[in-house]
Amino acid sequence: MRLDAPVSRFDPSSGPVVLPWLILFAGLCAVYVPSFVGLFNGIWSTDRQAHGPIMLGVALWLLYFKARSLAHAGIRIAPAHAAGWPVLICGLLFYVLGRSQSFIFFEVASLIPVLLGVVLIFFGRDAAKRLWFVFFFLLFVIPLPGSVVDAMTQPMKILVSYLAEHVLYWLGYPVARAGVVISIGPYQLLVADACAGLNSLFTLEALGLLYMNVVRHESVFRNAALALLIIPISLASNVTRVMVLSLITYHLGDAAGRSFLHGFSGMALFLTALLLIMGTDSLLRKFTGARSKNAAMRRLQGKSVGHET
């Protein structure tokens, strides 16, 4: 007995096709809006996981963008009930477990199998394959457990403090460090969690992957190299932020370092990091292009030598 429904074509102007999307949107809002409201009022309002709202906004935009492209692609609709219902039920069980036990990790993570199951039930495997990057990107929305954040943040704070201290010392400033406290002149600065770089690391990594998905590079080396280079770019941007705030405090006083310049420096350096990612991608494009050209030349030379022989 076959459980999958008959095949039809995806017509965005068709009422039966629009209705499932409306049902999907209304159902997801009814179930998950309370969860995200709790996040906005909880850990997302702190410096520990402040990247969450940005990731959620980008994920919603990505879902809308991919859904529109799906509608115009004219793919076939073949609801896969046999695959979709087990995935949906597992996702709902995760949600119930997380909601009842106040385990926000399970509660938010359940959105991925729930969304995947609904797409399979309404639209089938072809639509799910087209939306695979949306499901992957939603991983960045899931809040990390506090123990994981603590384990990752403290070493990053020490590394950022260490690098900032040595660069400032090399530039000739009177600077010293004790743990994550930097002393410059008569002032002391505590490298907080926000300056450790965990938020910017997750945000930049997610946006870098989104950038690669949009531009659709064919080179596996280029994609892998850019994804790895985002890590030192994020680290460098946070070291620069700590240095800038230290210099502002040293030259303009403690009040200036705590003013709007503190938040502005974070935004400015985040935008700088995005520009560095794009610049790095351009360099990788030239490198991979030159390497591909050299490989093609070697193949042609090999063929010509073989032909002469």
CA distance 217 to 262: 36
Cβ atoms 223, 217 nearer than 8 A:
yes
CA distance 144 to 149: 7
CA distance 275 to 269: 10
The closest of 38, 51, 61 to 108, measured between CA atoms, is: 38
Q: Which of 9, 241, 258, 299 is catalytic?
A: 241
CA distance 118 to 116: 6
Handedness of CA 74, 77, 78, 80 (dihedral sign): positive
The closest of 114, 26, 123 to 81, measured between CA atoms, is: 123
Our answer to whether residue 2 is catalytic in this structure is no
Length of the chain: 309
Task: Measure the CA dihedral 257/263/269/272, to 10°.
Answer: -140
Q: Is 35 exposed, middle or buried (0-12, 13-18, 19+ CB in 10 A)?
A: middle
Q: Tokens for 163?
A: 């690098």
In the DSSP assignment, the letter for residue 78 is B
Our answer to whether residue 177 is catalytic in this structure is no
CA distance 174 to 158: 19
Q: Which of 48, 177, 195, 222 is catalytic?
A: 195
CA distance 134 to 87: 16
Catalytic positions, written as ranges:
195, 241
